[in-house]
Structure 1
């Protein structure tokens, strides 16, 4: 069974959704038969990156978000605090007060490379943790290469990918495909191209859909042998 997950590395609900899905997967009886692929989605392709870490906690993130969504800064602070509390309940430690703006196209390029090398989930996790817990500037190529190397990618190959924009078309194709599938935001989960799950749903919801998709995609288990008494095209057993 294949699960495709569209998300962005600067999306807090994507990180929370990742944890909830992982909890569901651990509880899923057939988890060893599930393939997970992380697909690209850019929340704001026009973002101008800050390429240095913040000196310390600041109100910059709240003010930027306030300007973007047109809500008072104090209200936005409360929204951020709520998200941080939800993240904490999933075992995540958010420090959004040190997050800096990042254009994420190059992070997504390295995630495509990571998939080819079988370390996509590790690189995805490293990028998310770096952004939300450490305040690393994900819009800085040197930072991305270092973080990707920590998760298993070769530094020289990562630098070559970014220099060549090797996966830019693949990133754009992922975004277009998400929109074609009906995604209006992320995280967006697609299971066996049959079930779509929008948002960071509760763990129980993910588990229910995994179980349903598994049951519908697998034939019945035959109990008993072919020699059981029954009738068929050639007549009935005597």
Structure 2
């Protein structure tokens, strides 16, 4: 079973869902047959590379501190309930993630796919680390065992830029306008945040649909779950 998981490192729902998906796969009866493939969906290419705080971004879009807290504090509380601590969705700095996604693609080529994505989420939401400038990204790559010279050369060359753009375009063609977005075995789409129980149920549903049946002409068709908890690109005040 393959799970394609589109996300952005600065999306607070995505960091929570990366954790929940890990828990769901652990609980799934056929976990040893699950492959999670992280896919890129950069949200805010217009942010300054020096960074901007979440509160500043929200105010730029007309939100008060109270409005912002009403959206993001509940995500922090959900993360705490799910055992994900610390998780700072509100008091953090955001930046453009396009080049970081290129580095994540390079990490995949280097055999560090899951490690790179998981570490990026945890360092951003757990440690408040900025991952926007080339120096930031090269330091991150070095931390996960990637040669820093090769990392800098990769970013400079733009070798994985089209790969990142292709990932995002594929999600949009499947109907996703933001993150998180998952596609299980190519037919069960999950748009937005779900709790662990719902994810396990989705895995069970997709597994059952993929098993051989007695009716040669039977078609399962496309399946989807209603959406909730989504980060939108561009004009959204919440990354």
TM-score computed with the length of structure 2 as normaliser: 0.82
- SS of equivalent to 1:205: helix
- SS of equivalent to 1:4: strand
Corresponding position of 2:23: 23
Corresponding position of 1:119: 112
Q: Deviations over 1:92-138 (max 9, x none)?
A: 21234552221100110011112222211111111112211222221
- Give the deviation of 1:163 after TM superposition: 1.0
Corresponding position of 2:132: 139
- Give the deviation of 1:173 after TM superposition: 1.0
Corresponding position of 1:228: none
Q: Is the Cα–Cα contact under 8 Å of residues 50 and 140 in structure 1 kept in the other structure? A: yes
Is 1:219 aligned to residue 212 of structure 2?
yes
- SS of equivalent to 1:6: strand
Distance 2:74 2:205 in 1: 32
Distance 2:33 2:134 in 1: 35
Partner residue of 2:143 out of 150, 162, 181: 150
Q: CA RMSD in A?
A: 1.9
Partner residue of 1:80 out of 68, 72, 75: 72
Is 1:62 aligned to residue 55 of structure 2?
yes
Which moves more between the two structures, 180-189 or 124-133? 124-133
Q: Is the Cα–Cα contact under 8 Å of residues 126 and 148 in structure 1 kept in the other structure? A: no
Q: What is the number of residues matched between the two proteins?
A: 213
Unaligned runs of 5+ in 2: 214-239
Corresponding position of 1:229: none
- SS of equivalent to 1:138: coil
Corresponding position of 2:171: 178
- SS of equivalent to 1:196: strand
Which moves more between the two structures, 31-40 or 1-10? 31-40
Distance 1:142 1:80 in 2: 29
Is 1:165 aligned to residue 148 of structure 2?
no
Q: Deviations over 1:182-208 (max 9, x none)?
A: 012111010111010011201111111
Is 1:107 aligned to residue 131 of structure 2?
no
- SS of equivalent to 1:49: coil
Distance 2:95 2:119 in 1: 15
- Give the deviation of 1:38 after TM superposition: 0.6
Alignment of 1:191-210 (within 5 A): 191-210=184-203
Distance 2:119 2:64 in 1: 32
- Give the deviation of 1:210 after TM superposition: 1.1
Q: Is the Cα–Cα contact under 8 Å of residues 123 and 152 in structure 1 kept in the other structure? A: no
Which one has a bigger Cα radius of gyration?
Answer: 1
Alignment of 1:220-235 (within 5 A): none
